[in-house]
Structures are given as C-alpha cells and as structure tokens.
A and B are shown apart, each in its own frame.
Chain A
C-alpha cells in the first residue's frame, strides 16, 4: 500500500510533528514499506474473532476515593520549560 504525500502531511499535523518537504519523500518510501509489511494482515481470516486489547483477561480494579497526593508543585515546576506564578506558560492561545 502506498501512502500519499498529502496523507503524510495530514498525519504529521495530527501528530504535531513538523515535517519538511525533503523529509516527506523519505517518509513516503519508509512508511510505504511499513504499510506493505502490515498489509499481510489482510490475508488473515478474522471473521468471528473478538479484537484483543489486553494480553490478560483481567478486569479493572477500582481505587478508594481518598486523597493520597500532596502539593509538589515546586518539584514538578523545577523541571518545566517555562512557568510563572505557578502556571505553565505557552504561547498565547486564542480560543
């Protein structure tokens, strides 16, 4: 299966990864090869097969509603790229 330049550009926007024009050509080839590999799946007969999301047939455990966390803002914001007054800063967001 081939993947078009347009698809690559669309997917790159969805994934928020900047892709330059020259990279698109390389990606066309690499992603095309990967999708060729993946296309083998089409051969499998999976008509009555339930999709499998987890290796183990287990069910979710639920947690009691008790506060277990304390304020660690200082430690977390010490490793942040940009903060002010306890807030994380990003370029202005226009809603």
Chain B
C-alpha cells in the first residue's frame, strides 16, 4: 500500500533573556549545579512569580516574524504533574490564551518550490530543570539551574509530508529565531528542541491516522533520522495489519532506535487551570510597535535583497541568507569588491569545506569576511591565480599574516599580466616546439585543439616561473596559433 506521511512539529525555543521567566536568577549556561536556582525557582514555600518583560518582547517579535496575530490579553495556566525537575509540581504555561496566535512560515524545498507551513500558535512557558542519571548510589541528581528559563513553544499544523520538509522548516525556524536574536540557536546546549508528531494515512485519504510524538530531538540530523525511523516503524505496523498507539516515543540517535515512554502508573491528566498567582498580561499597540521597529532583517527579506543587490541566484541567496552570521560574513566580504558571485562561490567552496573539516561555525572562523573579500578582489583583478588564491587562503587561515596583499608579496604570488612580456614568452616557447605547433594547426576538431592547447601551458608557466596569468597566456596562444 502507498502511504501519505503527515508531520507536525512542536519546537521549544529557549529565549536569550538574561534572567528567568518568573525570577531574577541568571540563565547563563554552564554554571555549577543549583547555583542559579533561587527561592522562586526552587518553589520555596510562599514564593511568587513575577514575569520577565523581555520574554514577552521576544515572543511578540517572534509572532511578528511568522506573520502571526499577537494575543492582546494572554493568560498563564498551571499544567499539573509531578517530576523531580519540576519544583512547583506544575509548569506555568499558556493554553487557552497563548501570546502568539496563528501564523505561517514559507520554506524552500530542494526542487525549487516554496511551501507554506502554518503555525497553530506559540506560547510562553518555563523550562524544567535537569535530571542527571549518573550513578549517585542508585539515586538521580537534580540540577534546577535551567528551571524557569523562558521558552516559547511553537506548534505547527500537520503541514509537512516528509523528513526533508520537516528539516527545512526546522532550519528555517532556527534561522528566524537566531536572526531575531531571541535565541542563541545552540542546539547542542538544548537551546532548540524538537518534538515530532507523525502519522500515516493511505495515499489520498482525508482522514488522519493515529499519531505518535517523538520527543526532544536536538539536532537536524537526529530529527531526519527519527522521522525516517518512525515512518518505517509505523509502516511496518500498519502493513502487518496492526494499529498505531497514540503515545510519546523517545529516539536514541546514536543507536537509531526508539521506544515508548508510556508509564503504566496513569494516563496523564494535567488539570490545567489559570494560575492564580499571575494576572492576565495585556500587550498594547505601542509594545507591539516597539517590537516591530526593533525587528532586524529576516531571512526571507534578506534573501530577496541578496538576489537584488548582489545579483545572486535563488540557490546562493537562500543559502547565504539563512544563517544570520553567515549572511553578515558574506556581506562583509562582498562589500570589498564587485564580484559577489565569486564571493558566494568561495564561501560555499573552500571556506565552508574548511569550517566543516574543523567543526567550526562561522563565528569561530579565523578569517574575517573582509579578508575573504580582499582575497576575492585579488582573484577578480587577476593579481593572483586560483592556485595562488588557495595559498593565500591557507596563510590567512593559519594566521601567518592577516593582510592579503602582504601574503601575495611575501609569497611572490603576483601574476604577470604585462601582455608584451607574456607575448615574448609565448613566441619563445612556440619556437622551441615546432612539431606540436604543426600538429595543432593540422587538427580539425576544435575539442581536440582545445585539449592540445594545454600542452603549451606547462612550458609557459615554467617560463614565467608560475607567475604568468593563465587566462592571458591562453588568449595569446589562440591568437598566435591561428584560431
């Protein structure tokens, strides 16, 4: 049987506020356990929550960025359940009146098409602490530093139909929140966590199948694998005549396996009700307008501008505009000269390859955008050959010198582009290779002729000590040999 895959996402985005959503404790990552958990975060008796304005500002910015309605009067609710990393025994969250209403995000698909993924809503809530399962004499250790870190949970409609689309959406969302500066985007530290809802239905059917939720995926790669894994699992169950159980599953990326998280103790009954310690939050027009005015350029607008301003094609513009740090790097480089396309090629070629090889992000690059721009300028004006450019790139990367021109001088990489000098060299080389010249001139096939030209380049480069401009040599050769 043929199946349609239906995917919806829930994404937890940690907001980059200085303090927690309901207390003045720091949210800085990596502190000693429980040193950033204070009376309110520990749910000490009698303590009370006071919400952080910045969390609301960030949530509103997010809402505006995904074309959503902002709820003018949002309400916090208590979601009741017991867990050691949840000090109050309830999570303060939003259910009935979330801050961000319906919106949408457009994603670019590999086939060049654009797809709209609808956002059901996004709400503000508090993160839980962490349980550490290393052995403490058979006990679990609880660190509550993370408890109370502000999150927005973004809930999509089930609008995605395969892992590629889901990953494209996830990457787009990552690009939006990092461009907004409301999340550091560091997935390895849990700054963004994905829950994937998956169901299958017979191809063309209108009725949604039973879905499962795979929780807490913290990399795009794991997300892609987990979807593939779960789709296959559901397909196996359904094709064997079984039925899917609505449940939460946990995916182990290292082993590519998943298991159910159902507990036999109870069916969850979260007993949501409005939190009586907090009042309704009213967001007025001026707050929304301030947030709107503080919005930086978003990925879609940036992509359009890259195409317009730098003449990039759709693919290059999409790639370079997605990550705000990469986009800034590109613009620094491109502003040094005129050949933005060449800059784009270099960033996607040698530069990206080198970052990947060393597992570095753009932010940790030893080369600045301006330096790469200088390098491209020297390629474009024929000062250096592409072989020379690679040497300059290496020197910049290793920190040998930070000036492109100084490296070119020091390594003697400057190409000879004086046509008179080059012509003299061509004459001399051709005079020493009469047989090859005759062979070339007797050849009819232009393809073979082109190939034979290469045979003269070696001796020419040797004669110019590697500094002759190959493009000019080529032009002179063609002219002298007679077409």
Residues of A within 8 A of B (CB): 10, 13-14, 16, 53-54, 58-69, 71-73, 76-77, 82, 84-93, 95
For window 378-423 of B, CB contacts with A under 8 Å fall at: none
Interface segment, B20-28, B103-111, B158-166, B182-190? Answer: B20-28
For window 135-159 of B, CB contacts with A under 8 Å fall at: 136, 138-144
List, in ascending order, chain A residues with CB within 8 A of B250's CB.
95
B266 at the interface (CB under 8 A from A): yes
List, in ascending order, chain A residues with CB within 8 A of B37's CB.
73, 76
Which residue of chain A lies nearest to B129 when distances are taken between CB atoms in the complex? A88
B321–chain A nearest beta-carbon distance, Å: 29
A8–chain B nearest beta-carbon distance, Å: 14
A87–chain B nearest beta-carbon distance, Å: 3
- Do A88 and B142 touch across chains, with their CB atoms under 8 A apart? yes
B3 at the interface (CB under 8 A from A): no
Q: CA A42 – CA B120 in complex, angstroms? A: 35
Residue of B37, B54, B250, B269 most packed against chain A (CB within 10 A): B37
- Do B136 and A87 touch across chains, with their CB atoms under 8 A apart? yes
Q: CA A3 – CA B464 in complex, angstroms? A: 99
B19, B26, B38, B133: the one within 8 Å of A92 (CB): B133
Q: CA A95 – CA B265 in complex, angstroms? A: 13
Residues of B within 8 A of A (CB): 17-19, 23-26, 32-39, 42, 44, 50-56, 80, 82, 84, 131-133, 136, 138-144, 250, 261, 265-266, 269, 271, 274, 276, 278-282
List, in ascending order, chain B residues with CB within 8 A of A86's CB.
32-35, 143
Which residue of chain B lies nearest to A77 when distances are taken between CB atoms in the complex? B34
A53, A64, A72, A77: the one within 8 Å of B53 (CB): A64
- Do B142 and A89 touch across chains, with their CB atoms under 8 A apart? yes
- Do B141 and A88 touch across chains, with their CB atoms under 8 A apart? yes
B298–chain A nearest beta-carbon distance, Å: 23
- Do A88 and B25 touch across chains, with their CB atoms under 8 A apart? no
- Do A73 and B278 touch across chains, with their CB atoms under 8 A apart? no
A45–chain B nearest beta-carbon distance, Å: 23
- Do A59 and B282 touch across chains, with their CB atoms under 8 A apart? yes
26 contacts between A and B (CB under 8 A): A10-B266, A14-B269, A58-B279, A63-B50, A63-B51, A64-B53, A66-B18, A67-B26, A69-B19, A69-B23, A71-B36, A72-B38, A76-B44, A85-B33, A85-B136, A85-B141, A86-B143, A87-B33, A87-B142, A87-B143, A88-B34, A89-B139, A90-B140, A92-B138, A92-B139, A93-B84
Which residue of chain A lies nearest to B139 when distances are taken between CB atoms in the complex? A89
List, in ascending order, chain A residues with CB within 8 A of B19's CB.
65-69
Dominant secondary structure at the A interface: loop
A90–chain B nearest beta-carbon distance, Å: 5
Which residue of chain B lies nearest to A51 when distances are taken between CB atoms in the complex? B274
List, in ascending order, chain B residues with CB within 8 A of A91's CB.
138-140
- Do B52 and A88 touch across chains, with their CB atoms under 8 A apart? no
A50–chain B nearest beta-carbon distance, Å: 12
A79–chain B nearest beta-carbon distance, Å: 9
Q: CA A54 – CA B279 in complex, angstroms? A: 8
- Do A65 and B142 touch across chains, with their CB atoms under 8 A apart? no
Q: CA A55 – CA B362 in complex, angstroms? A: 53
B200–chain A nearest beta-carbon distance, Å: 26
Q: CA A62 – CA B17 in complex, angstroms? A: 14
Q: CA A27 – CA B139 in complex, angstroms? A: 34
9 residue pairs, one from A and one from B, having the closest CB atoms: A87-B141, A68-B24, A65-B54, A62-B53, A60-B279, A86-B33, A69-B38, A88-B142, A71-B35
A57–chain B nearest beta-carbon distance, Å: 9
- Do A53 and B276 touch across chains, with their CB atoms under 8 A apart? yes
Q: CA A24 – CA B55 in complex, angstroms? A: 45
B215–chain A nearest beta-carbon distance, Å: 10
A81–chain B nearest beta-carbon distance, Å: 11
- Do B53 and A63 touch across chains, with their CB atoms under 8 A apart? yes
Residue of A13, A14, A58 most packed against chain B (CB within 10 A): A14
A32–chain B nearest beta-carbon distance, Å: 21
- Do B139 and A65 touch across chains, with their CB atoms under 8 A apart? no
Which residue of chain A lies nearest to B85 when distances are taken between CB atoms in the complex? A93
B424–chain A nearest beta-carbon distance, Å: 71
- Do B271 and A60 touch across chains, with their CB atoms under 8 A apart? no
- Do A69 and B25 touch across chains, with their CB atoms under 8 A apart? yes
Which residue of chain A lies nearest to B270 when distances are taken between CB atoms in the complex? A14
- Do A13 and B84 touch across chains, with their CB atoms under 8 A apart? no
List, in ascending order, chain A residues with CB within 8 A of B132's CB.
87
Given contacts A63-B53, A73-B34, A82-B139, contact A90 B84 (CB under 8 A): yes
Q: CA A62 – CA B140 in complex, angstroms? A: 35
B44–chain A nearest beta-carbon distance, Å: 7
Q: CA A16 – CA B90 in complex, angstroms? A: 13
B418–chain A nearest beta-carbon distance, Å: 63
Given contacts A64-B53, A88-B141, contact A59 B279 (CB under 8 A): yes
- Do A93 and B131 touch across chains, with their CB atoms under 8 A apart? yes
A10, A71, A76, A89: the one within 8 Å of B136 (CB): A89
Q: CA A2 – CA B305 in complex, angstroms? A: 68
B56, B140, B265: the one within 8 Å of A13 (CB): B265
Q: CA A93 – CA B143 in complex, angstroms? A: 14
Given contacts A88-B84, A90-B139, A91-B140, contact A61 B50 (CB under 8 A): yes
List, in ascending order, chain B residues with CB within 8 A of A58's CB.
279
A93–chain B nearest beta-carbon distance, Å: 4
